[in-house]
A and B are shown apart, each in its own frame.
Chain A
């Protein structure tokens, strides 16, 4: 694709004025391909800026649909999009923003089965996902397919951004082990300042454009830490880990894996799962133990539930009776797994887990308000 037409010159004139970009750089962008994994809080600004900048082909990968609770930060979506597939809606918006580029709407889950094949089709991969499993898999695939990856993750007011190059370091060098389930919440679980992914995603978009243009100093081997609450940034240097299972000196991983270096995120063996549809029946001879934090009560309380926040569980274990049956629940089913592990350690045998958390149970129209 060339940018001979005056329409293109007008559209990209502010880029053409920058010596580091100019006509050659703009043409480079037009012939570039970027894959954005996750069209959520981070994905929205990344996608919008890459499309506006004239990146010739953009893959929008997301298997989810727009939820009303996304609209507080995922600025690519509108109220009328609720319930529609994110990849499809994002593709429409990006096409409207810049009809001259090609958008691939990829309505699927990025995992070990398709990772390499997908990554191969693009020049740069931007990880905007909200799952640790996806992050390991994306980093592995980029490392194996020799692609640059721009990574970010967020929590409430905090963001982490960096770039992984094919010769390392990779995500596994930085975080070889995933956190204990329940200890690190997603946005759905822990909340997030709406503008935070905007700030952090804009950093990612900037790094992606720099990578495609091959300009500037890459954010490589440097973890940028953004603290919006303090309005402060900080940088931590890191290098390729010689012991990394993917890019280390004695690498053992030659296919992408949707898991960290250990089994810490695997579900707890032998745990009884209660389907939300069966919760009412299960509660005939069991108590519902709600382990959400006190400030979450405003989002809905379940009548009759025992409420001990996960953060107080160890100190308040004595309030529970190990002879009784409990179905442990939290908002989306992550902290409840952690709570069950603690309860088991303390000798509670008759504990079951509410699959998908109270959010899924409430979606069955259980007769109470829950958000």
Chain B
């Protein structure tokens, strides 16, 4: 079962906390990780639209499979200017 490290930014860091490790079932992808996070913290649901993911500091899709030791960044677009 892959253990991944989560890095959240901006509003998502406020909702989910900055860093944490998460254990996921074998074969899980980045989208599954997000689903698990939302189940744990429903307030994150509102931040789903527009959100991008990065695996080991490279932008990736929700379909990207997770590997043990991956670092997954949650990148919301920021509003201010």
Query: A residues touching B (Cβ–Cβ < 8 Å)?
Result: 38, 40-43, 127-132, 152-156, 158-160, 174-175, 177-180, 182-187, 189-190, 192, 197, 223, 225, 227, 230, 234-239, 260, 264, 311, 314, 338
- CB atoms of B80 and A223 under 8 A apart: no
Query: B residues touching A (Cβ–Cβ < 8 Å)?
Result: 7, 9-11, 13, 18, 42-43, 46-52, 54, 57-59, 73, 75-81
- CB atoms of A41 and B49 under 8 A apart: no
- CB atoms of B81 and A129 under 8 A apart: yes
- CB atoms of A183 and B57 under 8 A apart: no
A228 nearest CB across to chain B (Å): 11
A219 nearest CB across to chain B (Å): 14
Measured in the bound complex, the distance between the Cα atoms of B42 and A338 in whole Å is 15
A185 nearest in chain B by CB position: B79
- CB atoms of A189 and B73 under 8 A apart: no
- CB atoms of A178 and B80 under 8 A apart: no
Measured in the bound complex, the distance between the Cα atoms of B55 and A238 in whole Å is 11
- CB atoms of A238 and B76 under 8 A apart: no
With known contacts A153-B79, A185-B80, A179–B50 Cβ distance under 8 A: yes
A171 nearest in chain B by CB position: B77
Measured in the bound complex, the distance between the Cα atoms of B42 and A154 in whole Å is 24
A158 nearest in chain B by CB position: B10
- Inter-chain contacts of B48 with A (CB < 8 A): 180
- CB atoms of B79 and A189 under 8 A apart: yes
B59 nearest in chain A by CB position: A238
Contact sample, A vs B, 8 pairs, CB 8 Å cutoff: A154-B81, A159-B78, A160-B75, A180-B50, A183-B49, A184-B50, A236-B57, A236-B59
SS class of chain B's interface: helix, strand, loop or mixed?
A: mixed
- CB atoms of A174 and B59 under 8 A apart: yes
- CB atoms of A130 and B79 under 8 A apart: yes
Measured in the bound complex, the distance between the Cα atoms of B12 and A184 in whole Å is 10
- CB atoms of B10 and A311 under 8 A apart: no
- CB atoms of A153 and B78 under 8 A apart: yes
With known contacts A174-B52, A177-B49, A311-B43, A184–B78 Cβ distance under 8 A: yes
Of A155, A235, A338, which is within 8 A of B80 by CB?
A: A155
Measured in the bound complex, the distance between the Cα atoms of B51 and A129 in whole Å is 19
A365 nearest CB across to chain B (Å): 28
A1 nearest CB across to chain B (Å): 30
Of B42, B47, B58, which is within 8 A of A238 by CB?
A: B58
Measured in the bound complex, the distance between the Cα atoms of B12 and A155 in whole Å is 11
B45 nearest in chain A by CB position: A314
Of A40, A155, A175, A183, which is within 8 A of B52 by CB?
A: A175
- Inter-chain contacts of A153 with B (CB < 8 A): 77-81
- Inter-chain contacts of B57 with A (CB < 8 A): 234-237
Measured in the bound complex, the distance between the Cα atoms of B77 and A190 in whole Å is 14
- CB atoms of A236 and B77 under 8 A apart: no
A306 nearest CB across to chain B (Å): 20
Known pairs A42-B81, A223-B59, A237-B59; list 9 more (Cβ under 8 Å): A38-B81, A129-B81, A175-B52, A177-B50, A187-B79, A187-B81, A190-B11, A225-B75, A237-B58
Measured in the bound complex, the distance between the Cα atoms of B81 and A38 in whole Å is 8
Of B13, B42, B77, which is within 8 A of A179 by CB?
A: B77
- Inter-chain contacts of B13 with A (CB < 8 A): 158
Measured in the bound complex, the distance between the Cα atoms of B13 and A42 in whole Å is 22
- CB atoms of B80 and A130 under 8 A apart: yes
Measured in the bound complex, the distance between the Cα atoms of B10 and A129 in whole Å is 18
- Inter-chain contacts of B11 with A (CB < 8 A): 155, 183-185, 190
- CB atoms of B79 and A186 under 8 A apart: yes
Which of B10, B47, B48, B78 is the most central at the interface, judged by chain A CB atoms within 10 Å of its CB? B78
- CB atoms of A236 and B54 under 8 A apart: yes
- CB atoms of B49 and A160 under 8 A apart: no
Measured in the bound complex, the distance between the Cα atoms of B50 and A223 in whole Å is 15
